[in-house]
Amino acid sequence: MPKKETRWSGRFKEPVDEQVKRFTASVAFDQRLAKYDIEGSLAHARMLAAAGILPRRDLAAIERGLARVRREIEAGTFDWSLDAEDVHLNIERRLTALVGDAGKRLHTARSRNDQVVTDLRLWLRDEIDQIVKRIVALERALLEQARRHAGLIMPGFTHLQVAQPVTFGHHLLAYVEMLERDRERLTQARSRVNRMPLGAAALAGTSFKIDRKRVAKDLGFEALAENSLDAVSDRDFAIEFCACAALVMVHLSRLSEELVLWTSPRFGFVRLPDRYCTGSSIMPQKKNPDVAELVRGKSARVIGATVALMTLMKGQPLAYNKDNQEDKEPLFDAVDTVKDSLAVFAGMVAGMEPVPSAMRAAVLEGHATATDLADYLVRKGIPFRDAHEAVARAVREAERRGVDLAALPLATLRLFSPKIGPEVSKVLTPEGSVAARNHVGGTAPAQVRAAIARARKRLPR
């Protein structure tokens, strides 16, 4: 009876147990690294040939074979095998079948330890670029809505209580600020992702005279991982990315929560396009903001991925450990989740329609211009704390009468401060309130439009 093939070498007397084979294999999920594994292998092989380590005829065979492997993977005809465990061994096995001994020489001066983390960094670098593009697309959608509604007045809230009038455009620009910070963080994180570990081999480097700088240049890396032990065992770059992605999702979740509130009949501030909502199987009147709710929920997955990766790394000694195979699924899921959430959000925001009448009614219900009345009294020479107390008593009287502060007659307002004159009526309007906040960062329509112009200049073309 022929001996069953093992994955490794003559070191082992028996093949891997079938259950262990399934348990340790990663090929089911790391196939997405195939493109980057081929790119890394080509750069490695070309360096080996340039250094005189690999014969030129073998390089030609490897290039020819990997081109064939790439075509098979892209066409979906590649035979992925559990016996080969992961994407790297699957590709190497197929390459060797195609070109013989040349394929076996490809692994000279490298290990799967530096190979896998090189692939992962190449993949994540490209994914960050795609995520940044989707952040920009969402920013543009928010900026366009802010431009259309720079003067639309709505209540601003603290503690979910009506606080002061703001403009809808100003409110949306708050999320543009959050997303800009996200974009900045991801761009900075990308530079730390873009450091090449290849050449560290298993953990100590290699005895071959390799040219790591050449490989780094071919693959577009900005710098080399300087320490071989750290190079193969570091997953800081993945944790940092997940932390950045988690903040993106937290920001989307906050906006999701507002959309859920705003679309409810109790608020009625916005309408979402039908194509981003669902109905009920039993209640025909329902229009549910399911996309917003799902994004709010999916934020937990990305936050969880960050915690999972930090927990994965916290107890590992140097250098590489098999634990690190568990880095990929949380990282892959975090990337997929944030990309999908950003894409669907951009479309939903672009189609969102505010309801000015509902916003106006809410502003007029909450004594939103009380602070403006206090500021008015301060300008009349009254200390702010005294002005605050006078306005608080006026609000209490408005509540007793069941009207907004702005609806109190002048004679009644003067009971709380004789300094109040007829010009106060302009101060107590929502329009007067927002117009008065005419400084950088303020909610005045002119400032909103100026902020939009500045934000658009910051975005890549």
Catalytic sites, residue numbers: 159, 280
Greatest alpha-carbon pair distance for the chain in Å reads: 108
Parallel, antiparallel or unpaired: strands 223-224 and 195-196: parallel
Q: At 347, list the tokens.
A: 């479309």
Is the Cβ–Cβ distance between 69 and 78 less than 8 Å?
A: yes
37 vs 95: CA distance, rounded Å: 12
Give the C-alpha distances (Å, rounded to integers) separating 77 from 34, 35, 42, 74, 83: 14, 15, 21, 8, 17
Cis peptide bond prior to 319, omega within 30° of 0: yes
Task: Give the residue among 336, 391, 190, 357 at the shortest CA–CA distance from 271.
Answer: 357
Residue type, 208: F
Rounded to 10 degrees, the C-alpha dihedral 132/275/155/183 comes to 0
Which of 155-160's residues contact partners 24+ apart within 8 Å by CB, and which partners?
155/359, 155/362, 155/363, 155/366, 155/368, 156/368, 156/443
Is the Cβ–Cβ distance between 343 and 394 less than 8 Å?
A: no
Q: How many other C-beta atoms can be found within 10 angstroms of the C-beta atom of residue 346?
A: 19
Judge residue 28's burial from the number of C-beta atoms within 10 Å of its C-beta, 0-12 exposed, 13-18 middle, 19 or more buried. Answer: exposed
76 vs 78: CA distance, rounded Å: 6
153 vs 444: CA distance, rounded Å: 10
Q: How far apart are the first and last CA of the chain?
A: 66
171 vs 113: CA distance, rounded Å: 48
Q: How large is the C-alpha radius of gyration of the chain?
A: 31
Residue 161 DSSP SS3: strand
